[in-house]
Amino acid sequence: MPHSIFSRRSFLPYPIEIVARALAWMLYRVRTRGEAHIPATGGALLIANHLSYIDVVVLQLACPRPLRFLGFKGLRENWFFDLVFRWSGVIGVSSHSPVEGIRLTVKALQAGELVCVFPEGHISRTGQLMQLKKGFEVMARRANVPVIPAAIDGLWGSVFSFSGHKYLWKSPRLMPTPCFVAFGAPIPADQADVASARRALMDLGAEAFEERPMLRRHLGHECVRSLTKQPWRVMVVDRTAARRELTCAQLYAAAAVLSRRLRATVPESRVGIVLPPGAGAFIANLAVMCAGKTPVNLNMTAGRAALESSLRAGGVTTALTADAVKAKLKDFPWPEHTLDLPAELAACGGKRAMLPWIAAAWLLPNQWCASLLGLPTTGDRAEAGLLFTSGSSGEPKGVVLSHRNILANCAQISSLSILPASATLLGCLPVFHCMGFTVTLWYPMIRRCRVVTVPSPLDTRRIIDSIREEQVTVVLSAPTFLRPLLKKAQPAELRSLDLIVSGAEKLPDDLYRTFLETFHLEILAGYGLTETTPAANINQPNPPVVTATGEPQEGKRVGAVGRMMPGMTVRVVDPESGRELAASETGLVWLRGANVFEGYLNDPEKTRGAFQDGWFVTGDLGRFDTDGFLFIEGRLSRFSKIGGEMIPHGTLEQKLVEVFAIDQSEACAVVVVGVPDAAKGEALVLLTTRDLPAAEVREKLQAAGVAALWIPKIIRRVEKIPMLGTGKLDLKECKRLAAEA
């Protein structure tokens, strides 16, 4: 619960303290947890993440004892900061000569004071936890006092943070900002180091993020409120056939009339949706949500058996589609109650029925517009979406995503600099893909960024034309879908692009380099899974330096998939023993955060297997560098253990591409698969679309320094490498082909 603003003293003169606390209380609603970890007496060193200029005020409001802070000594050249330093007892420290600052800090700690230091050294300009400096270790050990970790959440986005690449000069929040400060257990001085501090700050950051009030809201309610705030804004530019624009008001109105019809005619709690990216997919998903039901976007590229299994598992007996889509999908197991979306909208009264809702969007407060649909304000952990995994390594699993999951991931993405409200986003990823579902469907409705939709990520020419003609600024895609751009696009056609973000599979080095050389565009790699809604990590552009005292900060790193999203925490463990490893060691990645799902649909056994002590087991092997960037080494299922050695299939595939100079601009040409072997446990099989004699493969790989144990003995030529509609390898089919070999 929030503390009284007058319950304790700081180092400020009392009259000024009263005014400062009252002002801070008007602007911020600070709640805390773990105050009992702060010793009532005696010296202790508090360490915290640094998101804004107001962190010191929020920490003092949350802390039950007066705090002394360390501050950059150079700020004292300004009369205002010099006055603040003197009044509040701030200990000045210089990065060029830190000895005096450390000495004064140790003296204060030994005198029994509670001193706070921000180990990042500077305010984070990425919104993420940056590299931690080691100075706090020295202070704690010399003073022999415990280190108390504390995580602040909620201040990123305020006028005092660097969100939007600027301080101060942005619209202030009209309502008090909810903040949460989580205090952690003391770390003994002799155990306090950068690794333990980073781990504690990330764990506490995830706890604090979970306390955000907005995570308890209803996804449909939030989308309707957002859409009706700016009813005139163009939300979707549909380029399926003839170009068609859909404004926020039109989307709200179409979803409103359809939702009432669905509420009256569909008794089931889930409704299937079989539509490509476009205006129809936006209307259908929002209408189903507003009808109080769960949208289930079905994978149009999956086999009939997998689809029948998905329909059965989800209890889906009603589907929304379009007759044009239905005509193309001859083998799709359509439910008996399959509705044509255009016909349903016409049956509702068409444009005439939409007019009152459009008027409401223009004339009424946005809160009322949501109330007219009877939408609850709270969704929290209730089911908001059901997706089925791609089944790249087995049978598809039903992933239940809650309102909290989707709202959390949208908030996490919004905190980065990749998708501001001013962006024009290309929406070509299928809506049954989690990135298409969350990032190019729900996120734009919440943030009101314009979306240009193309029905297929394989329609390269239409994608290029859409980028050029609609001045698209951000593309989200997968390497498989980005490669054809190298052959078919001219640099001038992609001139409007600011960012390309790649996910779904590992970003190949050659694709990254060629894109940079050809288009002067850097592909930013990300990482996620359907179970993480999906984004867990995304590289972002390096933030600019806008102050005289600012230092360069990194938002991206080549070869990495970015830092953890705000509000997420991580463990790296040994895949065999389950023993926790140092973050810099390669091991199995475990995740926890508000965007992580809670379980598979009607499958408690698989759910239990997916979690260990509350941590989601990703199945991916990775490691972290000292700056917190994650490097994914590969899927555990894409490693073979032969002769006691773990052999990464992806690394071997990349080596084959290099030694045979394979052009992968059109499609994947080589895949390594592990199959059971009686003698060694596993054997490597090479599937390839080229003629690669075994002797030549062995000779070239050995010349490149590849160990004999790594070299595939079995090679099978195939017409094409099996791929899924999401752009991933169809590993299940690859294993079947390899087993036949």
HEC sequence for 299-340? CCCCCHHHHHHHHHHHCCCEEEECHHHHHHCCCCCCCCEEEE
* pLDDT confidence bin for 395, thresholds 50/70/90: low
Buried b (16+ CB within 10 A) or exposed e, 142-171: bbebbbbbbbbbbbbbbbbbbbeeebeeee
* pLDDT confidence bin for 657, thresholds 50/70/90: confident
Q: Percentage of the chain with pLDDT > 70?
A: 88
Q: Is the pLDDT of residue 22 over 90?
A: no
Q: Is the pLDDT of residue 206 over 80?
A: yes
| 618-621-622 Cα angle (round to 5) | 105
Query: What Å distances lie between residue 569 and 200, 353, 591, 608, CA to CA?
Result: 9, 48, 6, 20
Q: Is the pLDDT of residue 645 over 70?
A: no
Q: For residues 469 and 586, what is the distance between their CA atoms, to the nearest angstrom?
A: 45
Please tell me which of 65-74, 94-103, 427-436, 693-702 the model is most confident about, judged by mean pLDDT: 427-436
Averaged pLDDT score across all residues of the chain: 86
* pLDDT confidence bin for 3, thresholds 50/70/90: very low
Q: For residues 250 and 238, what is the distance between their CA atoms, to the nearest angstrom?
A: 13
Closest among 559, 556, 281, 571 to 445, alpha carbons compared: 281
Count CB-CB contacts under 10 A for residue 681. Answer: 13
Q: Is the pLDDT of residue 263 over 70?
A: yes
- Structural tokens at position 85: 């330093």
**Which of 174 and 499 is assigned the larger pLDDT?**
499
Q: Is the pLDDT of residue 640 over 60?
A: yes
How do residues 109-126 score in pLDDT, each as one tens digit? Answer: 998 989 999 998 888 989
Predicted confidence at residue 88, as pLDDT, reads 62
Closest among 61, 135, 148, 66 to 105, alpha carbons compared: 135
Q: Is the pLDDT of residue 11 over 70?
A: no
Q: For residues 716 and 536, what is the distance between their CA atoms, to the nearest angstrom?
A: 36
* pLDDT confidence bin for 387, thresholds 50/70/90: very high
For residues 442 and 410, the answer to whether their CB atoms sit within 8 Å is yes
How do residues 316-362 score in pLDDT, each as one tens digit? Answer: 999 999 999 998 988 899 998 999 999 999 998 888 999 999 999 99
Element (H, E) at 717: strand 714-717
Predicted confidence at residue 383, as pLDDT, reads 96
Q: Is the pLDDT of residue 131 over 80?
A: yes
How do residues 700-737 score in pLDDT, each as one tens digit? Answer: 888 877 777 778 888 888 878 877 766 667 777 777 77
Predicted confidence at residue 8, as pLDDT, reads 43
Predicted confidence at residue 378, as pLDDT, reads 95
Predicted confidence at residue 679, as pLDDT, reads 64
Dihedral of CA atoms 431, 437, 442, 447 in degrees, nearest 10, equals: -100
Q: What is the mean pLDDT of residues 67-72?
A: 78
Q: Which residues fall within 8 angstroms of residue 33, CB to CB, at 6 or more apart?
A: 180, 181, 182, 183, 207, 208, 211
Count CB-CB contacts under 10 A for residue 309. Answer: 18
How do residues 589-608 score in pLDDT, each as one tens digit? Answer: 999 999 999 999 988 988 99
Q: Percentage of the chain with pLDDT > 90?
A: 48
**Which of 274 and 549 is assigned the larger pLDDT?**
274
* pLDDT confidence bin for 86, thresholds 50/70/90: low
Query: What Å distances lie between residue 530 and 78, 432, 618, CA to CA?
Result: 50, 10, 10
Burial-class residue 24 by CB neighbours within 10 Å (0-12, 13-18, 19+): middle
HEC sequence for 419-460? CCCCCEEEECCCCCCHHHHHHHHHHHHHHCCEEEECCCCCCH
Dihedral of CA atoms 287, 375, 597, 725 in degrees, nearest 10, equals: 10
Predicted confidence at residue 2, as pLDDT, reads 38
**Which of 18 and 372 is assigned the larger pLDDT?**
372
Which domains, and CATH codes, for the chain?
A: 14-211 (no CATH), 219-458 (3.40.50.12780), 568-642 (2.30.38.10), 645-740 (3.30.300.30)
Predicted confidence at residue 617, as pLDDT, reads 92
Q: Is the pLDDT of residue 294 over 50?
A: yes
- pTM for the full model? 0.87
For residues 277 and 430, the answer to whether their CB atoms sit within 8 Å is yes
First to last CA, the chain: 64
| Phi, psi dihedral angles at 249 (to 5 degrees) | -65, -40
Predicted confidence at residue 39, as pLDDT, reads 92
